[in-house]
Structure 1
Amino acid sequence: MNLIVSGFETFGDLSKNPTIDILHALEQEQVEDVTLTTVILPVVYQSCFHSLNDLIDDINPDAILCLGVAAGRSSIQPERIGINLEDLSAEGQGPDNNGDRPIERKILEETPDAYFSTLPNAAITAEIQAREIPSTVSNSAGTFICNTVLYRLMHKINSESRNIPAGFIHVPATPDMVTKRPDLPSMHLDNQVEGIRRAIQVIRDSVKLDLER
């Protein structure tokens, strides 16, 4: 299986972005029967999807998994849906890395209000939980850059009639990111890497099953 996995650069007042470390770990110890291509995306509304879009066109992958950090969440969370909205008024979130702070702005005009992920989210969550790592399906990817990437990704796949399973997973902060914020939950990077590796195995097996039908 040819798989694209994306992460994000650091942003705001966060000291790091664990998705970068997750991608590096996956590159060093890849999942069996998976050819992995990774990409780090900018935390900028207007350009966050450009390099991922080009990569999809270049390699025509069998599946796509996007990763993002959500400080404040306590588990690894596959996202169920991306909505056509960019709005920081209710996020408690600073602007993107170019200073953009949209209020009730559509991602794309004259397109659907939302798209669902096509990854096997329930199976992914169950497999991660089976490894005694917290995981739950999330019904909101927010309205920051993560949601924008998920929405644009699913719009591309749907509008171009591509049969590519794709979606998004949020991971928590790591302990070193919250040393001054003990009220925020965190998860050790090793558990995050293992959880995402298990997610990739589930995606691989799902793609294989579809090809055999």
Structure 2
Amino acid sequence: MVKILISGFEPFGGDAVNPTGELMEALAHEVIEGAELKTVLLPVHFDECADLLIAEMESYQPDAVIACGLAKGRTAITPERIAVNVKDVPPGSFADNQGQHPVDELIVEGSPDGLFSTLPIRAMVSNIGAAGIPAAVSNTAGTYICNNTMYRVLDHIRLKQLPIRAGFVHFPASTEMAVLQPSVSSLPIPMMLDALRIMIRTVVAE
């Protein structure tokens, strides 16, 4: 049995929902052959988000971590290739949910400039696409909360030399969000949940 820890986020940036939070609720009732699943909902707050996820890792001791976040404006489900060691909220962008607005700050002093996902991202994208769901490998997780979370998790694994595969996946806005924002690209929650199931099965198979 492969133990997989999966995280999503609370709403942020003025939106009433975050599809990854809804995915965590739905996944709590899932049974996937070969997998033991645990979900956690994270705050959109620099550092606290990663602190909580790392604490869950230490408690649960998973074989893999799939962290999930919202990238409003993207048209596909996008596993991230790399996280970079910087937190930076550009002018005009949303601060985190506690009002923090870091600029050009390192996430971890003395750690590498970038850390690569150790999830089977190419196989994930291939398998999701084969199911008729738009997916692509992304080469930038940004410099906001999602990148911060991905980097901290990978750096924790690196420093502790843990046998854990980990990475991050960005999801588009949900159809529910697009009702209020018609110009925003979106996918329905059931389709995104199917993609998440496929990614879990891919990790189990790998």
Distance 1:29-1:46 versus aligned 2 partners, 3 A rule: closer
Normalising by structure 2, we get a TM-score of 0.97
Paired residue type of 1:159: L
Matching residue of 2:83: 82
SS at match of 2:14: coil
Matching residue of 1:210: none
Matching residue of 2:130: 130
C-alpha RMSD of matched pairs (Å)? 1.0
Higher mean Cα deviation, 177-186 or 48-57?
177-186
Is the counterpart of residue 98 in structure 1 residue 98 in structure 2?
Answer: yes
How many pairs were matched up?
A: 205
Displacement after TM superposition at 1:100 (Å)? 0.5
SS at match of 1:48: helix
Provide the C-alpha distance between the structure 1 equivalents of 2:180 and 2:6, rounded to a whole number of angstroms: 30
Provide the C-alpha distance between the structure 2 equivalents of 1:188 and 1:59, rounded to a whole number of angstroms: 30
SS at match of 1:49: helix
Provide the C-alpha distance between the structure 2 equivalents of 1:186 and 1:154, rounded to a whole number of angstroms: 29
SS at match of 2:152: helix
Q: Which runs of 5 or more residues in structure 2 are unaligned?
A: none
Matching residue of 1:119: 119
Displacement after TM superposition at 1:154 (Å)? 0.3
Paired residue type of 2:24: L
Matching residue of 2:13: 12
Matching residue of 1:163: 163
Identity of aligned residues (%): 38
Contact 2:128-2:199 within 8 A present in 1 as well: yes
Displacement after TM superposition at 1:69 (Å)? 0.7
Displacement after TM superposition at 1:9 (Å)? 0.8
Matching residue of 2:143: 143
Provide the C-alpha distance between the structure 2 equivalents of 1:16 and 1:145, rounded to a whole number of angstroms: 16
Provide the C-alpha distance between the structure 1 equivalents of 2:176 and 2:60, rounded to a whole number of angstroms: 36
Higher mean Cα deviation, 55-64 or 124-133?
55-64
Normalising by structure 1, we get a TM-score of 0.93
Displacement after TM superposition at 1:187 (Å)? 0.3
Q: Which runs of 5 or more residues in structure 1 are unaligned?
A: 207-213
